[in-house]
Amino acid sequence: AQRVTQPEKLLSVFKGAPVELKCNYSYSGSPELFWYVQYSRQRLQLLLRHISRESIKGFTADLNKGETSFHLKKPFAQEEDSAMYYCAHTSGTYKYIFGTGTRLKVLA
């Protein structure tokens, strides 16, 4: 079965430190990977998707098919990055599989 694994429920880092939120997926075909973010009292929203290959709010994510990973990275964390982050995967259909989420806390 298709699965998305986010091993960390909570990740705390200090402001200015690098951040890496881990995401692994299980799918043998050509996946589409996404990161969605939910800031406090805001709606869940798309942060970035692998096919766009862009950096949003300083975050990047590279699809590594060999390791079946799509880790989210930012070189210098900001306090406003504190939020709930979900990795998601589809296999070309509209059936999204989300991970269990990682809460990022950026400490001052």
Give the end-to-end CA distance of the chain in Å, rounded to a whole number. Answer: 40
d(C-alpha 49, C-alpha 60), whole Å: 9
Containing 67, the helix (H) or strand (E) segment is none
Residue 99 within binding range of another protein, rule CB under 8 A: yes
- 8 contacts: CB under 8 Å, gap ≥ 6: 21, 22, 102
| Residue 46 near another protein by CB under 8 A | yes
Is residue 90 near another protein by the rule CB under 8 A?
yes
Of the listed pieces 20-28, 60-68, 69-77, 86-94, which binds another protein according to CB under 8 A?
86-94
Instruction: Pick one of 74, 86, 104, 106: the residue that binds another protein (CB under 8 A).
Output: 86
Instruction: Determine which residue in the list 29, 43, 66, 67 makes contact with another protein, applying CB under 8 A.
Output: 43
